[in-house]
């Protein structure tokens, strides 16, 4: 149980375009979902926290107009990178939590390359 | 504010030898502590977690970690390394609840020599 999927696993897009990444909790309802980014050979940095039906809470330094997060249902959150640039190339990982007393369950990640 | 420091970005061990990965944290409230493993181009897999119960926590794949409040440490050990243990390991802390946002350490890459 507690499986989280991400789609796509890899995406290549041209500079200036937008790309959407989906995060789904497959066998549980996720009250909270988190989005992290990971640059090569670096650790994970939290970008934002989203609760179903509410606006996402962004970490300091993360542009909310550039990284649009939608958590429309208890099983789906999406991250849209708008007007992507090469510096946005990274590994994006989502996680989901059933409730605060429960741990986070991580998705397999999405590798974004902006050319 | 919470933070995590992992000493040593790379650790090399011989197959069959002890694996020791160090993690120190800072937290203004009682922490929840986690160790995750990440294989190349994959997400994170939980090895074990400390949630204020027993200070010695046993996890999957033979790993265990001990919470030492006086040292603000949560070091990860495995008595005998296996080739399959080659991966990146992350220590993480959350405050107030296990499902709250995580702060990760810088990670330690483990290399196992045959």
CA distance B7 to B78: 17
Contact list in A for residue B41 (CB cut-off 8 A) is 91, 109, 111
Task: Answer whether A98 sits within 8 Å of B101, measured CB to CB.
Answer: no
What value does the mean pLDDT of chain A take?
92
Task: Answer whether B42 sits within 8 Å of A46, measured CB to CB.
Answer: no
Task: Answer whether A44 sits within 8 Å of B45, measured CB to CB.
Answer: no
| Closest by CA position to B5, among listed B27, B17, B22 | B22
Residue B53 banded pLDDT, cuts 50, 70, 90: confident
Task: Answer whether A99 sits within 8 Å of B99, measured CB to CB.
Answer: yes
pLDDT value of residue B99: 65
pLDDT tens for B58-102 read 999 999 999 999 999 999 999 999 999 999 999 999 877 656 788
Burial letters B37-72, b for 16+ CB under 10 A, else e: bbeeebbbebbbbbbeeeeebebeeebbbebeeeee
A70 has pLDDT over 80: yes
Q: Looking at CA atoms only, how far is residue B6 from chain A in angstroms? A: 11
- For the ranges A64-68, B9-13, B23-27, B38-42, which has the lowest average pLDDT? B38-42
Three-class secondary structure of residue B85 per DSSP: helix
pLDDT tens for A71-80 read 889 999 999 9
Q: Looking at CA atoms only, how far is residue A18 from chain B in angstroms? A: 22
pLDDT value of residue A52: 83
Q: Which helix H or strand E contains B37, and what residues bound it?
A: strand B31-38
> Cα(first)–Cα(last) distance of chain B, in Å?
41
For B85, list phi and psi in degrees, rounded to 5: -85, -5
Contact list in B for residue A102 (CB cut-off 8 A) is 98-99
CB pairs under 8 A between A and B: 57
Task: Answer whether B90 sits within 8 Å of A44, measured CB to CB.
Answer: yes
CA distance B103 to A79: 20
- Closest-CA residue of B relative to A94 is B43
Among candidates B98, B103, B106 on the partner chain, residue whose Cβ is nearest the Cβ of A103: B98
Contact residues, chain B to chain A, C-beta under 8 Å: 34, 36, 41-46, 49, 90, 96-107
Residue B106 banded pLDDT, cuts 50, 70, 90: very high
Q: Looking at CA atoms only, how far is residue B110 from chain A in angstroms? A: 13
- Closest-CA residue of B relative to A35 is B101
């Amino acid at each position: 149980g507690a499986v989280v999927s991400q789609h796509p696993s890899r995406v290549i897009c041209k500079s200036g375009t937008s790309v959407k990444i989906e995060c789904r909790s497959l066998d549980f309802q996720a009250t909270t979902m988190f989005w992290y980014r990971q640059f090569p050979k670096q650790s994970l940095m939290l970008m934002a926290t989203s609760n179903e039906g509410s606006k996402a809470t962004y970490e300091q330094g993360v542009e909310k107009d550039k990284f649009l997060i939608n958590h429309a249902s208890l099983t789906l959150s999406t991250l849209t990178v708008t007007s992507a640039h090469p510096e946005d190339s990274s590994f994006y990982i989502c996680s989901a939590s059933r409730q605060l007393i429960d741990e986070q369950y991580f998705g397999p990640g999405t590798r974004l390359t902006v050319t | 504010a919470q933070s995590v420091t992992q000493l040593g970005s790379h650790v090399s061990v011989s197959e069959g030898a002890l694996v020791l990965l160090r993690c120190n944290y800072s937290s203004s409230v009682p922490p929840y502590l986690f160790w995750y493993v990440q294989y190349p181009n994959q997400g994170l897999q939980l090895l074990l977690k400390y949630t204020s119960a027993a200070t010695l926590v046993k996890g999957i794949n033979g790993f265990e970690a001990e919470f030492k409040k006086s040292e603000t440490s949560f070091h990860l050990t495995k008595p005998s390394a296996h080739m399959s243990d080659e991966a990146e390991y992350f220590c993480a802390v959350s405050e107030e609840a296990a499902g709250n946002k995580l702060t990760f350490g810088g990670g330690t890459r483990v290399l196992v020599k045959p």
